Structure 1
Amino acid sequence: MKSSWQVIVDALPILAKGLLVTIEITVLALIIALIIGLFIGLMNTARTKILRSIGTVYIDIIRGTPLLVQIFIIYFGIPYALDFQIDEFVAGIAAISLNASAYLAEIFRAGIQSVDGGQMEAARSLGLTRGQAMRLVVLPQAVRRMIPAFVNQAIVSMKDTSLLTVIGIRELTNSGEIIISGNYRFFEIWITVAVFYFVFIHLLTLFSRYLEKRLAN
């Protein structure tokens, strides 16, 4: 019977590949989520009530339902209803990005509203349109304040990728399950998986704290 250390060493290559998939999904999903989140966040700060209502409904629906249910809807529900197939990797990215976008939209909204209203008025008085003032004056100031929150959302989204094991994506958690199905060494493998998550997420946490201190100066 292999020692615990040998079991862990043998599992490292497979778990490392799973971690790379986890990171890939997290990065791609966050890029998409940032675009959607910015769009929804701007809708929630618009003057038009209809746009604000649409943005609010989107956020309420996404934040009001579990991510696991959203994964099932995207991977099983929608393809079944519309009679098509979707790749599990694409479905995973779609689920994580849509879920994260709702939280990022609130971060964008709060960041934009934290900028003094006089900044917008001053920009408009210089002849800029509202869109130009938002893009050139308000958003740069808001984003600077939002960076730590963005990093925190990245941490949450990375942990959320573990739920994608239910649709068979070979991310870190699923890689652990595959190894366990062959050696039944539950304790060693799950401890190693937890260490992988902890180390990477701890690095992101330290980066977030560094940014908070740096931006506070």
Structure 2
Amino acid sequence: MNLDFPAIAPSIPFILQGIPVTLKIVGLSALLGFTLAVILALFKISRIKPLMWFADAYTSIFRGTPLILQLLIIYYGAPQILGFEIDPYPAAVATFALNSGAYISEVIRAGIMAIDKGQREAAMALGVPYSKMMKDIIFPQAIKNILPALMNEFITLTKESAIVTIIGVQDIMRSSYIVGGQTYRYFEPILIAGLIYYVMVIILTVLGKLVERRMARSD
């Protein structure tokens, strides 16, 4: 099969150096994306029409266009409009945060709407302010219900983060490309990169199940 993994074995540590870069991008993007998603979800269930229209339009645009297109627009197109260049790392974080915010907002909205309306009516009858009701009563229950969907989105974000290699971010995938160029053997380092992503996804899946079990016990 003409595979020679020993030839690239010395370069494996270099590929592994891309793991922290990938995790930083995914972690920060997920945090910002979740924050944005909460705001969008609240807009969607709001009775204020302009807020509803804005949230729906935002979600439609970011769910209706390819992620790679959004990345290229922010990295290559935004400087033409803003007048200054954006570094690859911030561009990657911004793109994934904006994109994941659109997807997660729908998940959160569905989770909120799934909560029995009687709880809202009871809270309103007791004079509980809307913000406090959402923060202390509705939102915690919604998060518990949508946790599996949130973990799936986080896993998807981890895998999709590989496209940042096209703008020069030295993540796992980019590191494997560099090793391939140095050794003139691309198949082996790409397989190693794939194995790294697979292990990361398995770890995230296990962690997600552990969190689900712990939350289930707290009921």
Alpha-carbon contact 2:67-2:99 (below 8 Å) kept:
yes
Counterpart of 2:20 in structure 1 is: 20
Residues in 2 aligned to 1:139 and 1:72: alpha-carbon distance in whole angstroms: 35
Q: What do residues 73-131 of structure 1 show as CA deviations (whole Å, max 9, x unaligned)?
A: 10010111221111110001001111111011011101101111111111111111222
Give deviations 1:124-156, integer Å, cap 9, x for gaps: 111112222111110011111122111111111
What is the SS of the residue equivalent to 2:17?
A: helix
One-letter amino acid matched to 1:9 = A
* Conserved 8 A contact 1:148-1:211: no
Q: TM-score, normalised by structure 2?
A: 0.93
1:135-214 residue pairs with structure 2 within 5 A?
Answer: 135-212=135-212
Q: 2:7, 2:34 → 1: CA distance?
A: 39
Task: Give the partner amino acid of 1:18.
Answer: G
Give the superposition deviation at 1:15. 1.2
Establish whether residue 106 from structure 1 lines up as the match of residue 129 from structure 2: no
Deviation at 1:214, TM superposition (A): 5.4
Contact 2:8 2:183 in 1 (8 A): no
User: Which AA in structure 1 matches 2:132?
Assistant: Q
Q: 8 Å contact 2:179–2:186 — kept in the other structure?
A: no
Q: In the alignment, is the contact (CA less than 8 A) between 1:79 and 1:85 conserved in 2?
A: yes
Quote the offset at 1:7 in angstroms: 3.0
Q: Tell me the TM-score normalized by structure 1.
A: 0.94
1:32-181 to structure 2, matched below 5 A, reads: 32-181=32-181
Partner of 1:6: 6
CA contact (8 A) 1:14 1:175 kept: yes
1:20-49 alpha-carbon deviations (Å, 9 max, x no partner): 100110001101001101000111111222
How far apart are the structure 1 equivalents of 2:179 and 2:56? 43
Deviates more, 1:33-42 or 1:125-134: 125-134
Cα distance in 2 between the residues matched to 1:79 and 1:65: 20
Listed as ranges, the gaps of 5+ residues in structure 2 are none
Give the drift of 1:193.
Answer: 0.6
Gaps of 5+ in 1: none
CA distance in 2, matches of 1:171, 1:7: 21
Q: Is the contact between residue 8 and residue 192 of structure 1 (CA under 8 Å) also seen in structure 2?
A: no
1:54 & 1:115 partners in 2: Cα distance? Answer: 24
Corresponding residue pairs, total: 215
2-structure distance, mates of 1:12, 1:145: 40
| Range moving further from structure 2, 91-100 or 125-134 | 125-134
Q: Please report the RMSD computed on the Cα atoms of aligned residues, expressed in angstroms.
A: 1.5
State the Cα distance separating 1:216 from its structure 2 match.
5.5
- Does the 8 Å CA contact 1:37/1:102 hold for their aligned counterparts? yes
Asked if structure 2 preserves the Cα contact closer than 8 Å seen for 1:62 and 1:102, the reply is yes
Contact 2:30–2:97 (CA under 8 A) maintained in structure 1? yes
Q: Percent identity?
A: 33
Cα distance between partner residues in 2 of 1:8 and 1:125: 68
